[in-house]
Amino acid sequence: PVQALKQHLSGICGVPRFRQRLLCGSSCLQDGDPLEPSLELQLIFLPYAKSTQEQVRVLRLTAGQGSAEEVEQILGRPQDPEEVAIEEEDLFGALPFGYFGAEIAETLAVTPLFAAAKNGHIAVVHLLLEARAHPDKGCRQCTPLVKACAQGHAEVVQTLLQSGADKDRCGESGYGNVTPLAISCEHRQEELVRILLAARAEPDKYGDVDVTPLARASRRGSVAIAGMLLAAGAEKDKDSKQTFKLRFQEERTTGWTPLVEAAQHGHLGVVRLLLEAKADKDKLSHGRTALVKACEFGHVGVASFLVQEGADANRATNHCTALSWATRLGRLDLAGLLLEAGASTGEDGENLPPLSWACRLGHLAMTCLLLEARADVEQGCFKPLLEASQNGYPEITRALLHAGADPNAGSFIPLVEASHEGHAEIVKQLLAARADSLKRGQSDLTALEKATLRGHQEIVDLL
């Protein structure tokens, strides 16, 4: 038929069939007409017809709805497949976000190819690409390939790549300006990751938001995708420095290595895979190791595996240690595991020992466990006895005093703080342990003066 000849000619002359006209004498042949042998034909190339905004809008809407037959008719005008238009309602909706004038049109207007790719209309995508729509033209923020990956349309992704779409070009997808591979990993799209890696997508490229594809796959717990990325040569220990811009233009950076991401979210399978790939189990990522993050989020299975693989139970910089997190969460299972692995009961990056954390939060069983592990009852500026006395945990103060805690040590006085807060039973314990009732605290007041000011008559009588 005529259409097949036009497609053949398109490959020779570079003009899509929609702009070709074949004349036989005075007759213009239609695409569905059969071709007779030995015909003398005349080939004419037409420029794109001038389109109104309404015609441009109709093509975009028709493409987005997947109406292949209507799209083919519109392209046959012939109409430029890359023209964009913006609706008045779109313009109105953008105003609160600070866009003005021409910038609005550039921001919101999308190509027909983008609309078709977004909704997975493969037949329309084929037509638009045949009409020489550029495979990377979508809108200012995003490409058709990134949008198709975000929506999980594997056949569309494959077609765009075969048409020369840039496999590593970034686009906005709701997770920052990211690559097609990164957004596919975020959505756990195994087939898309396989397609993109087969097309030699860069395994470590991510976009403006500095979270690598492997870190995203690790965060999402996809062993299969993480395995594909490692096989493609993805860097297994790369930090993901994700930047957030807050009020007054202040920037904060956070993010983790793939191993820390997997540990934080409790994905034991990914942790196992990364360690098998020789990921650094003790690498500090913004001051935290994988073991620290596993303990911070209470993942005992991951923590146990990391300890079993030889992770350092004491490694941390300027942050809570793994044992401090276990103590803060009141997780005896984690604390016991870490103590058996040689975790130190000393101060962490926040200058508060695990024993002080247990006393501050009222974890009696945790306090007893740490005391059995010979935790120092006098360590830290905010000593364990001070924390228990101030927060009103008499069972804990009793255990600390029995372990030899000095009621008069430190610049913050337990008796003064207990009197201030009205904890009469603890005041009795401290006095029985020979606490000095005349010592003055940071406010330069004695325990009696504090109790008097706060109206704690029972404690005034005791003192």
Answer whether residue 141 shows pLDDT above 70: yes
Answer whether residue 59 shows pLDDT above 90: yes
Answer whether residue 40 shows pLDDT above 60: yes
Say yes or no: 145 and 225 in one domain.
yes
- What's the rounded mean pLDDT across residues 200-223? 91
Place of tokens 């299969």: 224
pLDDT the model gives residue 184: 96
d(C-alpha 86, C-alpha 104), whole Å: 9
Least confident of 244-258, 337-351, 436-450: 244-258
On whether residue 21 sits in a domain, the answer given is yes
Domain count, the chain: 3
Say yes or no: 257 and 208 in one domain.
no
Say yes or no: 189 and 228 in one domain.
yes
Say yes or no: 147 and 211 in one domain.
yes
On whether residue 36 sits in a domain, the answer given is yes
Say yes or no: 223 and 308 in one domain.
no
On whether residue 390 sits in a domain, the answer given is no
Say yes or no: 210 and 162 in one domain.
yes
Answer whether residue 350 shows pLDDT above 80: no
Contacts of 314 (CB under 8 A, 6+ apart): 321, 322, 342, 343, 344
Say yes or no: 145 and 231 in one domain.
yes
Say yes or no: 262 and 212 in one domain.
no
Answer whether residue 398 shows pLDDT above 90: yes
- What's the rounded mean pLDDT across residues 194-201? 98
Answer whether residue 247 shows pLDDT above 60: no
On whether residue 70 sits in a domain, the answer given is no
Say yes or no: 213 and 256 in one domain.
no
Percent of the chain topping pLDDT 70: 90
Say yes or no: 227 and 182 in one domain.
yes
Query: What is the average pLDDT score of the chain?
Result: 89
**pLDDT, tens only, 406-427:** 999 888 899 999 999 999 999 9
pLDDT the model gives residue 174: 74
Say yes or no: 159 and 194 in one domain.
yes
Answer whether residue 243 shows pLDDT above 80: no
Answer whether residue 187 shows pLDDT above 70: yes
pLDDT the model gives residue 241: 60
d(C-alpha 265, C-alpha 298), whole Å: 10
On whether residue 202 sits in a domain, the answer given is yes
* Residue where a domain terminates, one of 207, 235, 263: 235
Question: The domain that contains 264 carries what CATH number?
Answer: 1.25.40.20
The whole-angstrom distance between residue 385's C-alpha and the CA centroid of its chain comes to: 40
**pLDDT, tens only, 248-298:** 444 444 568 999 999 999 999 999 999 999 999 999 888 889 999 999 999
d(C-alpha 183, C-alpha 192), whole Å: 10
pLDDT the model gives residue 179: 95
Which domain, by its residues, includes 8? 2-45
Say yes or no: 211 and 289 in one domain.
no
pLDDT the model gives residue 358: 95
pLDDT the model gives residue 302: 98
Answer whether residue 404 shows pLDDT above 70: yes
Q: How far apart are the first and last CA of the chain?
A: 108
| Rounded alpha-carbon distances, angstroms, from residue 454 to 91, 385, 418, 450 | 62, 22, 12, 6
Here the tokens at position 387 are 């924390």
On whether residue 280 sits in a domain, the answer given is yes
On whether residue 309 sits in a domain, the answer given is yes
Taking the CA atoms of residue 174, residue 177, residue 182 and residue 187 in that order, the dihedral angle to the nearest 10 degrees is 0
* Residue where a domain terminates, one of 262, 291, 317: 317
Task: Specify the higher pLDDT residue, 104 or 48.
Answer: 48
Comparing CA positions, the residue from 368, 288, 311 lying closest to residue 335 is: 368
- What's the rounded mean pLDDT across residues 308-331? 89
Q: What pTM does this model have?
A: 0.84
Contacts of 458 (CB under 8 A, 6+ apart): 424
Looking at the DSSP bridge assignments, the partners of residue 171 are 178
**pLDDT, tens only, 62-109:** 999 999 999 999 999 999 999 987 655 454 444 444 444 444 444 468
d(C-alpha 127, C-alpha 124), whole Å: 5
Would you tell me how many other CB atoms lie within 10 Å of the CB of residue 356? 28
On whether residue 453 sits in a domain, the answer given is no
Least confident of 106-120, 152-166, 188-202: 106-120
* Residue where a domain terminates, one of 317, 350, 372: 317
Binned at pLDDT 50, 70 and 90, residue 442 comes out as: confident
